[in-house]
Amino acid sequence: MNETDWKGQLRDCFKSIEILVRCRKETFDDFKQFCEFIAEPAFEALAEELKIYDIKTKPLTQKGRSISLRIDFQKSKVDHFYYTILLPKNSVELKLRLQLRGRRTPKAPLQEKTEPFMAALPSSKVMKIGKEELIEDIILHYRNFCYESLTQPD
């Protein structure tokens, strides 16, 4: 290997690192926009509707890392279900994760599972979903959790 080969390799190495750093920042910025323009409005709209059923909610955020909607048991202040959208650490694309946590009864421990966020949705389309699509996904997971909780044998 001559001197010009390794210098080119070193230059390519630093260009690649620069691209990765830029992609991470862009992904972080995209996630912040997703939270502000899609997730937060969806959580607010769903919270308003859940008030009709005497269910309180609370949005929770970990800046740049996750956004959650906490749904309490009906007519209670005890947390029942959490729908959390996570941006994995060092992400270079919006390949989000969904963490679902919930408890069957007010005194039961929280159960948790993690899966891809809207698995059929390519990461390139995440910023294009509407708040209605997100609300439908939350309702689907919440309903499934409630059904499972009510039908599981003790």
Predicted confidence at residue 153, as pLDDT, reads: 80
pLDDT tens for 82-94 read 999 999 999 999 9
Predicted confidence at residue 152, as pLDDT, reads: 83
pLDDT tens for 3-36 read 678 999 999 999 999 999 999 999 999 999 999 9
- Among candidate residues 146, 124, 66, 73, the one with its CA nearest the CA of residue 99: 66
Neighbours of 99 (CB within 10 A): 16
pLDDT tens for 45-101 read 999 999 999 999 999 999 879 999 999 999 999 999 999 999 999 999 999 999 999
In 3-state terms the chain splits into helix, strand, coil percentages (rounded to 5) of 50, 20, 30
- pLDDT band, residue 1 (cuts 50/70/90): low
Predicted confidence at residue 64, as pLDDT, reads: 79
Segment (H or E) for 31? helix 3-34
